[in-house]
Amino acid sequence: MAENNGNVKIHVEHLKKNFGALEVLKDVSIDIHEGEVVVILGPSGSGKSTFLRCLNRLEEITGGTVIVDGYDITDKSTDINKVRENVGMVFQLFNLFNNLDVMGNMMLAPTELKRATKEEAHETAMQLLRRVGLADKAEAYPAQLSGGQKQRVAIARALAMHPDIMLFDEPTSALDPEMVGEVLQVMKNLAREGMTMVVVTHEIGFAREVASRVIFMEGGYIVEQGTPDEVINHPKEQRTIDFLSKVL
């Protein structure tokens, strides 16, 4: 993976997130560097998705500091929409606009937010649809697509904003098993091209093959982190060992 240790793209220090009295993130600190693919593993309720959603302030941050691409997003004066233009997000349930065809979904944000012309946005959309193998679906509506196709459109739509960072929140967990591979292939290609990625997933094989770093979270903390070999094949912490014994 292309990785530049000098360039920290995401800096998280003592991050806390409460929902009322419930502490979901208790104290999370991590630096993610340019070109890194960081895969987050952990049981349900460990805080993985909440952590990811704090990285573009889809969840308001209770305490600590989060700096994304040099912008302190815990500072209320930061224009979070400006930061989000550079951070692509792919959700578990695709979040496509059902009333727009694929091309409409692809062109909406670049023309509205990045002020691209319709011609520029259309050209970029077609390039990206070709890249994810869906150029023939440009005029199809989401209801006409399989789950795997919807998720590939969702990834292409996020890439249409030319982000520096991509966040993936369990992108394959809503898919039938035979569709998982086509989505993971698109993500593997992105990783090879040097995209900085943070991926919450249960796909251990993907973590082994693609991650530059694997993080195991439980109970609102990072319990263990290291290379895929260190964390998946030779975990040190008992909580990591217990989790992996259930999923491997």
Band the pLDDT of 6: cuts 50, 70, 90: low
* Percent share of the chain, pLDDT over 70: 97
pLDDT at 1: 33
Q: Does the pLDDT value for residue 5 go beyond 90?
A: no
**pLDDT per residue as tens digits for the range 193-233:** 999 999 999 999 999 999 999 999 999 999 999 999 999 99
Residue 2 contacts residue 194 (beta carbons within 8 Å): yes
Predicted TM-score of the model (pTM): 0.93
Residue 195 amino acid letter: M
